[in-house]
Each structure stands twice: as structure tokens, then as C-alpha cells.
Amino acid sequence: MAVVSVTKHIPTSKDSLWEAISSERNLENFHPFCQSNNVKKWAKDESIDELVYLNNRTYTRKWREWTDGKGYALTISNGRFTADVDWSINGDENSSKIMISIKPKFLPNNPIKKWFAHQLIIKHRLRNYLDHVLSGLATYLTTGEKIQHNQFGEHPWFS
């Protein structure tokens, strides 16, 4: 129900895109709100890492699925807020697309409050967040340079 997805075309090969998103500590290269991305275990669908945001909030990411060259699914949580996140890619040797989908699990139980929270606040902030992350990934892949903190603007939840 409350899934937020963003897709971005990137003028790079599918293999290069996969390498960028599937390597250890990958977020440190392209995530504009990432202070650090520490690996606890790196073993495909058993991987676990920590994402420390610029505001020092720490989230643990635990993988649920991993399909080489196509994408993965993980759960991210800080103990209070949890969400399921899917990364999927497709393309060829010249061009590729990536889609990230987030399903928040921290919405209120009351259906009316859930609808208002999602429609008025959460989906817009998540979409903005995903736009920044995918802009960082595209910039990193096309320039080869690591992204700077808040390079595309600040975010109220993570900067």
C-alpha cells in the first residue's frame, strides 16, 4: 500500500551499475546523506551493514534477497523506524535503469492517520530522499567521483 518508488536512467552499463550497488561500503561513494557505511557481514542475501547518516542516526540494513546482476531486497531499521527496501536494475552494456522502492513499516495503525501521514508527509520526503540517492549514484557512475555530503541539498530527516 504505502510503497514509494523512484526510477532513474543512468548512461552506464548494467554491469557497472550492479558493481556500484553491490560492493561493500557502497553508500560511501554515492549516498549524499551517508556519513559512514560499516559492514558487519558481506555475504549476498545474508549481508548486514550499518548506515550512519549525517545527523548521526544509525540504521542497520539486513538483506533478505540477493539476485546477482538484478537487485536485492533488505530491511532497514534503527529500532524505532523500520522499512523494507528493494533495489532493482535492468539494462545492457550501454544504458541502465535503477529503481528503489521503500515500504515504510512505521506508519500509524489507525487507517485515517496512516493515510494522512503517508499522503501529506512521508511519501514526499521519501521520494525526495530517493531522488537525492539516485542522483548521487548517477553522478558517481558518470564522473567516477565520490559524492559530497548534502551535494543535492539537505534532507530534514537525515542531514
Q: Does domain 4-143 have CATH number 1.10.10.10?
A: no
The model's pTM is: 0.93
> 117 in helix, strand or coil?
helix
The pLDDT confidence band at residue 135, using thresholds 50, 70 and 90, is: very high
CB 66 within 8 A of CB 45: yes
Per-residue pLDDT tens for 67-100?
A: 999 999 999 999 889 999 999 999 999 999 999 9
Domain boundaries, the chain: 4-143
For residues 124-141, give the mean pLDDT.
Answer: 97
Residue 45 has pLDDT above 70, yes or no: yes
* Residue 35: its H or E element: strand 34-41
Cα–Cα distance between 132 and 121 in angstroms, integer? 17
The pLDDT confidence band at residue 41, using thresholds 50, 70 and 90, is: very high
Residue 114 has pLDDT above 80, yes or no: no
How high is the pLDDT of residue 119? 73
CB 69 within 8 A of CB 18: yes
For residues 16-40, give the mean pLDDT.
Answer: 98
The pLDDT confidence band at residue 36, using thresholds 50, 70 and 90, is: very high
Residue 120 has pLDDT above 60, yes or no: yes
